[in-house]
Structure 1
């Protein structure tokens, strides 16, 4: 993928890795906290018969377009791409997650996303602040972090995509925008904040 902007000059020029969901939200977890993410368990509320929420339940509880929840007991945070289980990828040059809401082609969707990102009239929903210690992984919130490298019994691997980030505090903003009759773009963008 190639973005023509000054913010994309130091980003790798490769095609993005798209991640699909099994039906729930996607999540972005710092690589350092992956082992602490348990995903959907048989003891959770949605998939089990428990009354205590598991990690997947907590991700599903995010009602805005995006939100931040804790991971594990050491203060790590994960970014939930909520609202709907749209196939998504990370655009490192824009520090944005592109969500495939409606499009006839990947090329058309990327062009629509670029138009939304550069349009000063784009209406953004503020979704809080995310603190991360560096690189992260985009994945299905139903998966456990420890299971990402384990093949499914029927074949195939859990979907995941690297999110090359530097450590920092990021303001999270999101939008779902129809750019034309064929393209409806979802974006969750990370904006650096002052320390």
Structure 2
């Protein structure tokens, strides 16, 4: 897995330098950008990391950056900082999806805690996404007949009822059920139902 990067975006060079040095001391890999537009133009938002951005910058604002990353379905968490903070601005930032909102001068401990929290949540989302992709791959390995059995099992049909619907013997259905459970790595029908909900085959 790629090493997470902290992307610092601030139009003031002194702020970029100070934050970069501070985060370097804490062991983070850092990249700096003068504007949100430059960041979006030069950086791949699918990279692992966390954005630390000023709210007020030339061009796209920090809040607009959060909204744009959301639109691009980027998993990058964003910590917004501002020297002109007020309650409405903080509320707008959090509503837009920012991980945290911190006033300047930035407290080192508060910023590091926010970055770590954002990275942890992003990592958890990545694990969940990978898990869902694996689940889809498992389902794709089912044959057409196994998918038919899968759909009926999660709807609560017994093997006898499935056999009647598919014009198969109960013994054959039982064999298909075993294959479905093995391919889906489900230890029980309840587990299979939970998988079906995640796959969108059932409504919770």
- Normalised TM-score (structure 1): 0.21
Structure showing the higher strand proportion among its residues: 1
Answer with 1 or 2: which has the greater Rg: 2
Question: Which structure carries more relative contact order (alpha carbon 8 Å, separation 6+)?
Answer: 1
